[in-house]
Amino acid sequence: MPRVLITGTSSGFGLAITVELAKRGWDVVATMRDLGKRGELDRALQESGASNKVVISQLDVADPQSIARAVVALDLPARGLDAVVHNAGVAAGGAFEDLDEANIRRIMEVNFFGILALTKRLLPTFRAQHRGRIVIISSESAFAGQPANSPYCASKWAVEGWAESLAYEVEHFNIDVVLVEPGPYRTGIWDSSPRILPKDSPYYPLLRHLEATVETHVRKIAGDPADVGKVVAKALAARRPRFRYAVGPTAKFNHIARGKLPSTLVRKIIGRFLGLSRVRW
C-alpha cells in the first residue's frame, strides 16, 4: 500500500486529507505539533472506519529537531514513502505596519521554511526510490496580494516560487511537485489566527471595514474542507498530476485572472469586491 506523511492534521484540511486518503487505502502518517489535539481526528477516523490505516505522530514543522525525529520514525528507506502533503499553515491578520516581527517570522517559519526543511529530509529517499510526490497546500492568496494579509500572501508566493524551481531539479528523479491552491474553506484558521487591530492604528478604518467584509464574504462562500481532501487524493492518484490545482470558484477565477489581467486591474477588481471605496478614513 502507498504511504504518505501529512503535516498539521489536528484540524481543517489536514484532518480532511487524512480521512480521505485513509478511506482510499493509503497508509497515512498523520502528524501534528501537539498530540493533545488528536481527539477530533481520532473521532473522524472512527466514523470513517479507516482508523487502522493511520498512525498519528508528533511533528512541529518549525522545530528542526521535531522534523528530524519524525523522519527517523518513518524507518526509511526500509519502509518506503510515496508522498508528503505539506499542509500545516498559520496566518495573522493586520496592516503590515501594525504586525510585529514575531508574527511575521512565525508565518514564514511554518508556511515556508518548515516546508523546505521537511522536504530536504525526504528528498534522498524519494531520489533513491526514483519515486515521490510533494504536495503543497498553497492558497489563492498566492495569486494576488490582499489587504491586511501581507505576510501570509508573501509566504504563499514564496513557497510557490520555490516549488516551481524545485520541480525542474527533481523531475529527472521521477519526483512530482504539486501545488493545491484553495479559496476560502470552513477551517479553524479563520478563528485561531491572531487579528491585530489596534484602535489607535492609522489603518483602523480599513481594518474594521475588512473584518466585517471578509467575515461576511467568507461565511457566504466558504466551502467544505472535504473538497480539498478529494483534490489531494486525485493529485496523488493521477499518473501525471497537474502542477497546480485551484480549488473552489474564487481560486479558479483568480487563477485565470493572474495570467490574463494586468495587476492594476486585478487590484481594482479585488478592491471593488471588498468595497474598499466605502472605507471612512
Give every CB contact of residue 136 below 8 A, 6+ residues apart in sequence. Answer: 86, 115, 159, 163, 177, 178, 179, 180
By beta-carbon proximity to ligand NAP, the closer residue of 14 and 93 is: 14
Of the candidates 250, 232, 112, the one whose C-alpha atom is nearest the C-alpha of residue 179 is: 232
**Type of residue numbered 222:** A
Q: How many angstroms separate the Cα of 146 from the Cα of each of 44, 93, 222, 280? A: 33, 10, 17, 19
Applying CB under 6 A, among 116, 170, 189, 233 the residue interacting with ligand NAP is 189
C-alpha cell at 62: 518549525
Residues of this chain, 96-125, that bind ligand NAP according to CB under 6 A: 110
Please, which residue, 174 or 192, has the CB nearer to ligand NAP? 192
Give yes or no for a contact between 64 and 108, defined as CB atoms under 8 angstroms apart: no
The question of whether 203 is a catalytic residue gets the answer no
Q: Is 12 in the site for ligand NAP (CB under 6 A)?
A: yes
Site for ligand NAP in 206-265 (CB under 6 A): none
In the complex, minimum distance from the CB of residue 276 to ligand NAP, in angstroms, rounded to a whole number: 21
Q: Does 33 bind ligand NAP (CB under 6 A)?
A: yes
Residue 252: CB minimum distance to ligand NAP, A? 13
Q: Which stretch binds ligand NAP (CB under 6 A): 74-82, 124-132, 185-193, 271-279?
A: 185-193
Cα-Cα-Cα-Cα dihedral sign, residues 140, 146, 148, 154: positive
- Reported as half-sphere exposure (CB side, CA atoms, 13 A), residue 230 has a value of 7
CB of 132 to ligand NAP, least distance (A): 20
192 binds ligand NAP (CB under 6 A): yes
The reply on whether position 58 binds ligand NAP by CB under 6 A is no
Region of 11-19, 77-85, 117-125, 231-239 interacting with ligand NAP (CB under 6 A) = 11-19
Residue 60 binding ligand NAP, by CB under 6 A:
yes
Nearest Cα to Cα of residue 250 among 195, 182, 188, 157:
182
Kindly state whether residue 34 participates in binding ligand NAP, applying the rule CB under 6 A: yes
Q: Pick from 149, 187, 250, 254: which binds ligand NAP (CB under 6 A)?
A: 187
Question: Is the link from the previous residue into 77 a cis peptide, with omega within 30 of 0?
Answer: yes
If one asks whether residue 92 binds ligand NAP (CB under 6 A), the answer comes out as: no
Grid cell 525526504 — which residue? 122
Collect all residues with Cβ–Cβ distance below 8 Å to 7 and sequence separation of at least 6.
Answer: 14, 31, 32, 59, 61, 84, 85, 86, 87, 88, 114, 118
61 binds ligand NAP (CB under 6 A): yes
User: Minimum Å distance from CB 260 to ligand NAP?
Assistant: 22
DSSP letter assigned to residue 147: T
Active-site residue, from 152, 185, 203, 245? 152
Residues binding ligand NAP: what is the number (CB under 6 A)?
29
Residue 91, helix vs strand vs coil = coil
**130 phi-psi bin (left φ>0, alpha ψ -120 to 50, beta other):** left
If the CB atoms of residues 40 and 82 are measured against ligand NAP, the closer one turns out to be: 40
What residues are annotated to the active site? 152
Give the residues lining the site for ligand NAP (CB under 6 A).
7-8, 10-14, 32-34, 37, 59-62, 87-90, 110, 137, 139, 182, 184-185, 187-189, 192
